[in-house]
Amino acid sequence: MTRSHRDKWLGHAGRLLVALILLFVLLPTIVVIISSFSSTSVLFFPPKGWSLRWFVRAAHYDDFRNGFYAGLVVTAWASSLAVVIGTTLAIAINRYDFRCKHALEGVLLSPLFIPHFTIGLGLLMLVAQLNLGRGYALVIFCHIVLVLPFVLRSLYVSLHNLEQRVELAAASLGASPLRVVWTITVPLMIPGLFGGWLFAAILSFNEFTASLFVTTQATQTLPVAMYNYVREFADPTLAALSVVYIAATATLLTLANRFLGLGRVLNVEGAR
Amino acid sequence: MTRKPAFVLWFVLPSALTALGLMVAMLAVLQYSVRAFIPGSLEVGGFTLGNFQGLFKSLYAEAFLNTVSLSFKTALFGLLLSYPLAYALVRTRAGWLKSSILIIAITPLFLGEVVRTYSWIIVLGSSGFLNSVLLAVGLIDKPLQLMFTQTGVVLALVHVTMPIMVLMLATGLSHIDPAYEKAATSLGAGPIRAFLTVTLPLSLPGIVASLTTAFAWTFSAFATPQLIGGGKVSTVATLVYQLGFSSLNFPFAAALSVAGLVLTVLLLAALKRMARSLQRAGGY
């Protein structure tokens, strides 16, 4: 075999490998989509008949409806607050020096390796000891802690890519530091802010393990409601709900990719 | 860095409060772990180390071993599947292909553990997708038992951790100048040799970061071992939940969490150390 022959063969093998891996990633999604249209209440593959009844049932199941609204409340507050907290911190860390800077950053990034169940358990014990109720505030705080590392990551990238000379120009023209932040830094960060907010929102809406610990029947979010459903029933209602989920998430990400450039936000663009 | 203006304090305050809340919650776990359990009551008794002694029972030792072995397998297989995808993502030049790989690879990241685990139940079940296909093709004559097994749990966990691994590997790979590889090829190295001697060593930091994250995620996974393991595969996470919500033994659940956290930190530190000596051996 000549060298160019071998290289071509290698290229094909590589493409085949990548295609197979992508298929593995897609497989459960494809299977769940097919199953959601099944007409029987016991899951068989391939389904014995087709219907839309599980979509109807998913839309009318009370726990899912309540979970959806509770999830929206938690997600809206948690992701917005996380972006505010993250932005102020990212600017302070990136542009200024202050005491305990690295300790603070370390603590806030620690949920990346502290198991979610430990964080949920800790917050549950904390409110039990302080005799506070398990309300929305607890769930929202829990989600802020969990999504903050991801928000920070996205904001660091956007601060890093920001043309710092513009800030210097504004400062040298006499703008106070706060005015520079408010009129130059924050507006220039808006794509990053939006990207960070979007990720925080999607992650919060889907967070499950810690939520299982900190929610009650009244504040249970959609993933918790789904988990409880799957433990009780085996019908394809959850498959139908999953399809709605997958469609909504893929649409959001495709839009984010189109308008924000997902590769840039996630920092995976190749070196040019 | 410039002199710090007064508003910086106000900028740090919200995050400092958040960090404080998190630290106090972790202290609460620590505090509960050394308190006595009063059966039938949510109040805790006096200080004791009995909870930690209880961890040496074989049931818990097995759960720890199980969790570590699941985490290692998941991280390893996850890396083998994620690396080619990350490499393709970074090196593909066609825009639409790049976007497609990116969307397919990371959409699962945002679907949450419950949806993904549920999908795997349909794939792995005895009348599920995999068994139906294998039966139809004639490779097997009775359904394979995949649900409630370690294999099934690892398969689903690999799928759960892949997106974040792809992201981290791609971030690392994207900072390697393709010119290095080109230089190696123009000096006569074949593509495999160029990859093994240039790109792979340079991407080691990304590999370590992704392995670490995969390990930590698997360690904390709950829905997947709980639903696919179905009580047959017990992990630290599933036991903590059972102890807390079925037996209401919060002190013991706390002790188990503390032990789990210590183990995670130790293993991650070991991993980092190993990576550093590996890098040094490679001359970087």
- The ranges assigned to domains in chain B are 57-281
Q: Which of B4, B11, B81 would best serve as a mutation to test chain A binding (most A beta carbons within 10 A)?
A: B11
Closest CA to A271 of B204, B91, B207: B91
Q: List Cβ neighbours of B153 (8 Å cut-off, separation of 6 or more).
A: B70, B224, B225, B228, B229, B233
Judging contacts by C-beta atoms under 8 Å, the chain B residues touching residue A96 are 1-2, 4-5, 8
Q: List Cβ neighbours of A233 (8 Å cut-off, separation of 6 or more).
A: none
CB contact under 8 A, A21 and B84: yes
Q: Which of B1, B12, B135 would best serve as a mutation to test chain A binding (most A beta carbons within 10 A)?
A: B12
CB contact under 8 A, B104 and A145: no
* CB neighbours of residue A254 within 10 Å: 16
CB contact under 8 A, B220 and A18: no
CB contact under 8 A, B110 and A249: yes
Checking if the pLDDT of A272 tops 50, the result is no
A260 min Cα distance to partner chain B (Å): 12
Checking if the pLDDT of B3 tops 70, the result is no
Q: What's the fold here for domain B57-281? A: MetI-like fold (1.10.3720)
Residues B141-183: pLDDT tens digits?
A: 888 888 899 999 999 999 989 998 998 899 888 888 888 888 8
CB contact under 8 A, B88 and A113: no
Residues A114-146: pLDDT tens digits?
A: 999 999 999 999 998 888 888 999 999 999 999
CB contact under 8 A, B85 and A21: yes
- DSSP-derived 3-state class of residue B44: strand
Higher pLDDT, A266 or B148: B148
Please, are residues A257 and B102 in contact by the beta-carbon 8 Å criterion? yes
**How far apart, in whole angstroms, are the C-alpha atoms of residue A67 and residue A71?**
6
Cis omega before residue A28 (within 30°)? no
Question: Cα angle at B101 between A259 and A83, to 5 degrees?
Answer: 45
pLDDT of residue A246: 86
Checking if the pLDDT of A108 tops 90, the result is yes
Q: What is the mean pLDDT of residues B267-276?
A: 83
Residues B250-268: pLDDT tens digits?
A: 999 999 999 999 988 898 8
Higher pLDDT, B90 or B1: B90
At residue A270 the predicted structure's pLDDT band, cuts being 50, 70 and 90, is very low
Domain boundary assignment for chain A: 1-27, 53-265
CB contact under 8 A, B118 and A268: no
Checking if the pLDDT of B82 tops 70, the result is yes
pLDDT of residue A269: 59
Higher pLDDT, A130 or B231: A130
Checking if the pLDDT of B284 tops 60, the result is no
At residue A271 the predicted structure's pLDDT band, cuts being 50, 70 and 90, is very low
At residue A82 the predicted structure's pLDDT band, cuts being 50, 70 and 90, is very high
Q: List Cβ neighbours of B155 (8 Å cut-off, separation of 6 or more).
A: B120, B124, B146
Checking if the pLDDT of B280 tops 80, the result is no
Q: What is the mean pLDDT of residues B74-88?
A: 95
Copy the structure tokens of residue A114: 């502290």
Q: What is the mean pLDDT of residues A189-197?
A: 85
Judging contacts by C-beta atoms under 8 Å, the chain B residues touching residue A239 are 118, 122
Q: List Cβ neighbours of A9 (8 Å cut-off, separation of 6 or more).
A: A1
Residues A32-71: pLDDT tens digits?
A: 999 999 888 877 777 888 989 999 999 999 999 999 999 9
Q: Which of A10, A77, A80, A113 would best serve as a mutation to test chain B binding (most B beta carbons within 10 A)?
A: A113
Q: What's the CATH superfamily of A53-265?
A: MetI-like (1.10.3720.10)
Chain B residue closest to A231 (CA)?
A: B227
Which range, of A39-48, B179-188, B222-231, averages the lowest pLDDT? A39-48
- DSSP-derived 3-state class of residue A47: coil
B103 min Cα distance to partner chain A (Å): 7
> What's chain B's average pLDDT?
87
pLDDT of residue B283: 53
Compare CB distances from A88 to B11, B21, B102 and report the shortest one's residue. Answer: B11
Chain B residue closest to A202 (CA)?
A: B110
In the DSSP assignment, the letter for residue B139 is: S
Counting every residue, how long is chain B? 284
Judging contacts by C-beta atoms under 8 Å, the chain A residues touching residue B107 are 29, 246, 249-250, 253
pLDDT of residue A243: 92
B141-167 exposure pattern, b = at least 16 Cβ within 10 A, e = fewer: eebbebbebbebbbbbbbbbbbbbbbb
pLDDT of residue B2: 52
Higher pLDDT, B110 or B142: B142
ipTM above 0.90, yes or no: no
**Residue B40 Ramachandran class (φ > 0 left, ψ -120 to 50 alpha, else beta):** left
At residue A85 the predicted structure's pLDDT band, cuts being 50, 70 and 90, is very high
Closest CA to A265 of A204, A194, A195, A216: A195
CB contact under 8 A, B26 and A254: no
Closest CA to B151 of B225, B56, B223: B225
Chain A residue closest to B115 (CA)?
A: A242
> What's chain A's average pLDDT?
88
Compare CB distances from B254 to A121, A148, A207 and report the shortest one's residue. Answer: A121
Q: What is the mean pLDDT of residues B191-218?
A: 86
Please, are residues B225 and B237 in contact by the beta-carbon 8 Å criterion? yes
CB contact under 8 A, A117 and B257: yes
Judging contacts by C-beta atoms under 8 Å, the chain B residues touching residue A31 are 119, 122-123, 128-129
CB contact under 8 A, A262 and B119: no
Judging contacts by C-beta atoms under 8 Å, the chain A residues touching residue B99 are 257, 262
